[in-house]
Homo-oligomer: A and B are copies of this chain.
Amino acid sequence: MSSREPTLADVAELAGVSLTTVSRVLNNRGYLSEKTKKRVKDAIEALGYRPNSLARALHGMRTQTVGLIVPTVSLPFFGELAVEVENALAEAGYRILICNSLGRADREREYLSLLVGNRVDGIISGAHNEGLGEYDTIRMPLVTIDRELSPSIPNVRCANENAGAMATRALLEAGSRHPLLLTSRSGPRNLREAGYRAEVERAGLHARVVTVPFDTPAPQRFAMVRDALDAAHGDEAIDGVFATDDLAGAEVLEWARMRDLSVPGDLSVIGFDGTETMRRALPHLATIRQPIEQIARAAVAILLGQIEGTEPRSPIDQDGAGRARTVEFPGTLLRGRSLTL
């Protein structure tokens, strides 16, 4: 807009000192007389000068910026995760560059490039399309959240398998004999599913898994849930559902209402995540709360340890071998009317 941003030189000229002196005042380094200090500060004030962080970073210094890649901050879990990561970073004087991959590999690839191009000091990824080779190219500190990318990259997450078992147990204790799992992608990498399967088998029951992909667009999504649940229900009456996220849990509740199933009379429901937003929206939905703040803090601590080259001697996990650390935090069962009255 109005002309260009003032530079160090402008300040120096106005204050009648050299560039170095201004730089010193800015960084509070070396010996300065109070008088020049004041003169420089006044000049800075008068011009509304703000140091150009790009030039600063170019000098080989840190950018003090960390990239965070998530599927989309519009989902409460990732939104809250982003804010917690931002808070943890802010305490250490770092800032965050948030990237929404939307679950698309091309966007994730692009963002990875962007982050490297912007010389962030490190990356936290909570969204990795499996098989994105680009991560191997990354020459900077990297930590993943939730999904594990590779055994050589530190991973922080909720103890998903335990939590999955906990949720399933809660359904069984509420009397469910035919508990069903509603998740977004089934497979061996789905640890919540593994917990569910283990617990169901232990009870001598059989597992039933229904899948609705995470990134299904809004209009079709509920229809898919409805159809899938209808099909399963016709097969053998569903009397309990463990949905691996709370929004899916909400859809189960809506389905139950449509089909005149009383909750928890005919059907118990438990979700996953326990974000603040979903607690406010549906306080009666039982769920497993992920310790988002702890996860964010641990991820940041590990990353900053790598960046600053001083692996913090944190109490959390330590892997003797060459393998990176994996840190798991337990989830918390939040009971609610959707489970037991």
Contact = CB atoms under 8 A, between A and B. Distances in A.
Interface of A: 1-3, 5, 48, 50-55, 57-58, 63, 72-76, 79-80, 82-83, 86, 95-98, 100, 102, 113-114, 116-119, 137, 139-141, 218, 221-222, 246-247, 250-251, 254, 275-284, 306
30 contacts: A1-B141, A5-B116, A5-B139, A48-B137, A48-B139, A50-B117, A52-B117, A54-B58, A54-B119, A55-B58, A72-B83, A73-B74, A74-B80, A74-B82, A74-B83, A74-B275, A74-B277, A76-B76, A79-B79, A82-B100, A218-B280, A221-B280, A222-B283, A247-B280, A247-B281, A251-B280, A277-B277, A278-B281, A281-B281, A282-B282
B277 A50 contact: no
Contacts of A140: 1
A218 B276 contact: yes
Nearest to A68: B98
Contacts of A116: 5, 50
A51 B221 CA distance: 40
Contacts of A96: 98
Given A76-B76, A82-B100, 4 more contacts: A54-B57, A58-B58, A74-B275, A74-B277
A315 to B, nearest CB: 25
A60 to B, nearest CB: 8
B58 A117 contact: no
Contact of A277 (B48, B76, B82, B254): B76
B74 A276 contact: yes
